[in-house]
Amino acid sequence: MGVTTGGSILVVAGTHGNERNAAWLLEQWQGDAATLNTQGLPLVFERGNPAALQACRRYIDRDLNRSFAPELLSDPAQQDLEVCRARELLARHGPQGAVPAQVVFDLHSTTAAMGNSLVVYGRRAADLALAAGMQQRLGLPIYLHEADGAQTGFLVERWPCGLVVEVGPVPQGVIQATICRQTQLALEAGLEVLAQARAGALTLPRQLAVHRHLGSVDLPRSQGGSPAALLHPALQGADWRPLGLHDAVMLKASGGPICLGEVLPPALAGQARYWPVFVNEAAYDEKGIAFALTRREEWSVHHGWCEALQVQAQGL
């Protein structure tokens, strides 16, 4: 029924080794197929970073979810554990791999209060269709990550279609039943969209709400690199809630507030409101990100998106 056949859907958990909720779920799904509603679709499961999972650390040598940049993958001198693992995953399940996958779901968790949410990288039509269908079913907010030269090499970008499911807040290293439940609901919604697309029966909503990445804000730092201010308590847990320039976003060590306008990078100026995401994510401290700022937009769903996803899904 499709353009290509024999393809599958790749489900990755534990791309970061201290994000254990999806990794735990994956073990259940592999142990008992009845625990996941697959809609009859062909799935393959992979633990993203088994060595990091074993160590309960985000990564061993480098962040696996920044290791899929073509220039890293093609550099024979680059032998970091995670780059080697990226090559291995592509050799197995990449579009030209041994058991090729058309679509990938990369299941993450975060210490930020993101709720149950999606991250889409760039504006590929099939990704937007998949995200729109999932948003229609569960109301999940979508973080559209694009045009950030400091953050590249994401896993899902190496497959024709794919997105990240991001659920929080949950501490690193902790499994919580509600986080697992949300993760599974998101994946099952995605599989339902793909099943409809494979059947040529997918209908999408007319509108899609996205939160488009504008840039990131870090805390001020002392010379030694330590934070010279803290995230403001009013912003802690307030992911997706709009901020104005006069809203407090940090707290000085001396106790006074710092407003968004005081720390907004000039390149991000010009918006009336900003929607923060990944607020105080533990792993982003080393990346110099206290929170990211987005702009909320309502997009019309293009007819071509649905077709693009159906092309991928018909290969399943």
* Residues at the site binding a second copy, with contacts judged by CB under 8 A: 24, 27-28, 32, 35, 56-57, 111, 169-178, 180, 226-227, 230-233, 236, 251, 253-254, 280, 282-283, 285-286
Min. distance of Cβ 17 from a second copy in angstroms? 12
Asked whether the beta carbons of 281 and 290 are under 8 A apart, the reply is no
When the beta carbons of 35 and 207 are compared against a second copy, the nearer one is 35
Min. distance of Cβ 177 from a second copy in angstroms? 4
Q: Cα-atom radius of gyration of the chain, to the nearest Å?
A: 20
When the beta carbons of 53 and 156 are compared against a second copy, the nearer one is 53
When the beta carbons of 48 and 169 are compared against a second copy, the nearer one is 169
Give the angle 33-110-289 at the CA atoms, nearest 5°.
150
- 170 phi and psi angles, rounded to 5 deg: -150, 135
Min. distance of Cβ 145 from a second copy in angstroms? 22
| Count of beta carbons in the 10 Å neighbourhood of residue 252 | 13
Min. distance of Cβ 76 from a second copy in angstroms? 30
Min. distance of Cβ 171 from a second copy in angstroms? 4
The one-letter amino acid code at 130 reads: L
When the beta carbons of 19 and 106 are compared against a second copy, the nearer one is 19
Asked whether the beta carbons of 65 and 31 are under 8 A apart, the reply is no
Min. distance of Cβ 185 from a second copy in angstroms? 14
When the beta carbons of 234 and 245 are compared against a second copy, the nearer one is 234
Residue with tokens 């991000």: 268
Comparing CA positions, the residue from 108, 106, 44, 50 lying closest to residue 81 is: 50
When the beta carbons of 178 and 207 are compared against a second copy, the nearer one is 178
Q: 104-128 burial, b if ≥16 CB within 10 A, otherwise e?
A: bbbbbbbbbbbbbbbbbbeebbbbb
When the beta carbons of 120 and 231 are compared against a second copy, the nearer one is 231
Min. distance of Cβ 298 from a second copy in angstroms? 33
Q: How far apart are CA 139 and CA 137, in angstroms?
A: 6
Asked whether the beta carbons of 106 and 164 are under 8 A apart, the reply is yes
